[in-house]
Chain A
């Protein structure tokens, strides 16, 4: 029997979501101070206004929905869902008031794109955008990569038993440490450590190529945030191609590949277990699929005879396939070049790595290397079972942080999630074709949104139909949260309408 949500359900969801929004609001102080330092006075007031709105929401929910009850699974999932939706709507306010977006829907699109680390953007006149707005764009990507909830757990919620339910709701399953709050802190420790190192290296590179120190600092910070979170935003419209620098490309490449690794793997390496890099099933799976994707893309470009020398071609393939596979979306070629020069064959070569994605419990999207590894192991295990005598018991192991026995339920779950991803990719392609785009371009953009990649062949532009914008928002959201929280929202709405009880 389906039960109607109780008052306690609503209270818990509103109370914890309010806390998360309060913290999300505190993040607005970073672009606020950026605006203050640079002298962007109107933007400073816009960020102050948005910050105040968040804090008023938090104080209101804290006063009228205060509770000390622990939360259950459904409530945990709903907290994630409500937080992400509210963060998108509120995070879009500074965009809208800045005047650089065509509509509020476009602003919500960009916030969702940032939070889900997708990188598709509908901003207009990016090259004249205020520093503080660029700071907000990249900060959203950085926070979204680690997770809004992960950030919330780090600072706010006490370590009750229920917090694991919110943590899992944000597509995080790995526990680096026995305690979820400590796990969240470990994730932030890793990310902030890399932030310092990555920004310094990029800053040196940027100053060497001739950027002014202040601008060089901001660009370095933003490119790091974008690359580490496998986001894809860049401060300039030409994206990475703006810098005309092999060094910047190489550093960004290194950062987004490392960023696409599982936080559990990072933690294992940080705590001295360096052998994990060579033994981990995700790294093996990722290396094989990246290599195959590069070969596929290379064959397409060789057939097109686009590049006259092997170095030029390798540089483009390495960066673009790496960017696609890790779910980053940074571009060393322009959108026009990708759409008109690379051709549909080469686009197909990028669709595959985009769909596959990076590691589980990382900032990357897509199927995830762990699931692909599990499915491949599952297939081999099934073949082995067929060729062995009926009485024999086949036990398959895989290595992920430790040696694990492969269970049928894991393979089944991996299959279901992959099927769900394929569904959103294909539905997006269908909608694109409905509005007159070619199949390959529609599929490319749909996979890019659903797998949270952000590469674009020119479909996701401000002029695209509102239905496509709405679908891409939903697709990015479902892809990032790996469907669980979105299904929970559907279930919650159904239980409100059809459930029995008081």
Chain B
């Protein structure tokens, strides 16, 4: 009997809020795209960074979530290029959408969210969109503003080139606007 109960416990997991749910697939978004048939209509779990904008509709909202390498540290924060983005649209309630404080872009690290919901490769509610309808949605780590320090070396080189170009242009203007000036042909 004890073994059976242990087996049941393995099959059933506790989510973050303490509610008991049947095991959902914990997958990366790229894997969803690669094996759409396998996950279509299944309950899945993803964790990633909220990106861009929240698009509100009458009965809910769209949130775009990326779970690529940049969801941990973006290039804007100094990470090296390591591949392209990987994201998906999440359909959430308006109340859940309001939990999001930071949305990722050049100036912000977006909130890291945990999403559990039904994956659809052809969502009947949204005209065949590929999406996840969130059943559980929570912010697990709040985002922040990204500081961009001015690169002084770059600034000095840039200004040096600009001053050189501006001086050259001024000299050129001065020469060709002089009365009687004739340009030398090559």
Q: Is B183 an interface residue (CB 8 A)?
A: yes
- Indicate if the CB atoms of B122 and A312 lie closer than 8 Å: yes
Q: Is A87 an interface residue (CB 8 A)?
A: no
CA distance A428 to B165 in the complex (A): 42
Within 8 A of B (CB), among A219-265: 236-238, 241-246
Residues from chain A with Cβ under 8 Å of B82 in the complex:
124
Q: Is A499 an interface residue (CB 8 A)?
A: no
CA distance A236 to B150 in the complex (A): 26
- Indicate if the CB atoms of A128 and B76 lie closer than 8 Å: yes
- Indicate if the CB atoms of B85 and A127 lie closer than 8 Å: yes
- Indicate if the CB atoms of B130 and A127 lie closer than 8 Å: no
CA distance A203 to B15 in the complex (A): 41
Number of A-B contacts (CB under 8 A): 185
Residues from chain B with Cβ under 8 Å of A46 in the complex:
154, 158
- Indicate if the CB atoms of B53 and A49 lie closer than 8 Å: no
Q: Is A309 an interface residue (CB 8 A)?
A: yes
A308 to chain B, nearest CB (A): 6
Residues from chain B with Cβ under 8 Å of A49 in the complex:
154, 157-158, 161-162
Chain B residue with Cβ nearest A15: B186
Q: Is B36 an interface residue (CB 8 A)?
A: yes
Residue in B53, B64, B88, B126 whose Cβ sees the most chain A Cβ within 10 Å: B53
Within 8 A of B (CB), among A320-365: 333-337, 339-341
- Indicate if the CB atoms of A65 and B186 lie closer than 8 Å: yes
CA distance A337 to B131 in the complex (A): 11
| Size of the chain A interface, CB-CB below 8 angstroms | 70
Chain B residue with Cβ nearest A98: B75
Binds A, one of B17-25, B54-62, B133-141: B54-62
Q: Is A434 an interface residue (CB 8 A)?
A: no
CA distance A124 to B69 in the complex (A): 11
A343 to chain B, nearest CB (A): 11
CA distance A212 to B77 in the complex (A): 23
B152 to chain A, nearest CB (A): 10
CA distance A211 to B54 in the complex (A): 7
Q: Is B142 an interface residue (CB 8 A)?
A: no
Binds B, one of A73-81, A99-107, A275-283: A99-107
Q: Is B9 an interface residue (CB 8 A)?
A: no
B53's contact among A212, A340, A461, by CB below 8 Å, is which? A212
Q: A59-B168, A127-B70, A340-B34 are in contact. Are A334 and B122 (CB under 8 A)?
A: no
- Indicate if the CB atoms of B87 and A238 lie closer than 8 Å: yes
CA distance A215 to B51 in the complex (A): 13
The contact size tier of chain B is 35 or more
- Indicate if the CB atoms of A308 and B81 lie closer than 8 Å: no
A299 to chain B, nearest CB (A): 17
- Indicate if the CB atoms of A334 and B168 lie closer than 8 Å: no
Q: Is A311 an interface residue (CB 8 A)?
A: yes
Chain A residue with Cβ nearest B31: A336
Q: Is A402 an interface residue (CB 8 A)?
A: no
CA distance A316 to B126 in the complex (A): 12
A62 to chain B, nearest CB (A): 7
Chain A residue with Cβ nearest B155: A45
- Indicate if the CB atoms of B186 and A11 lie closer than 8 Å: yes
Within 8 A of A (CB), among B38-78: 51-56, 61-62, 64, 66, 68, 70, 74-76
- Indicate if the CB atoms of B158 and A45 lie closer than 8 Å: yes
Q: Which residues of A contact B (CB under 8 A)?
A: 11, 15, 40-42, 45-46, 48-49, 51-53, 55-56, 59, 62-68, 97, 99-102, 123-131, 209-212, 215, 236-238, 241-246, 306-309, 311-313, 315-316, 333-337, 339-341, 461-463
List 19 additional A-B contacts (Cβ < 8 Å) besides A48-B159, A461-B83, A461-B84. A48-B161, A52-B164, A65-B186, A100-B75, A125-B74, A127-B85, A210-B54, A210-B55, A210-B61, A237-B87, A238-B87, A241-B89, A307-B128, A308-B128, A311-B127, A312-B124, A315-B128, A336-B32, A336-B33
**A to B CB contacts below 8 Å, 30 in the list:** A41-B150, A45-B151, A48-B162, A49-B154, A49-B161, A51-B165, A52-B162, A52-B165, A56-B161, A67-B185, A101-B81, A125-B79, A127-B52, A128-B70, A128-B74, A129-B106, A236-B64, A241-B129, A242-B52, A307-B128, A313-B128, A334-B88, A336-B34, A337-B33, A337-B36, A337-B121, A340-B34, A340-B36, A341-B121, A462-B83
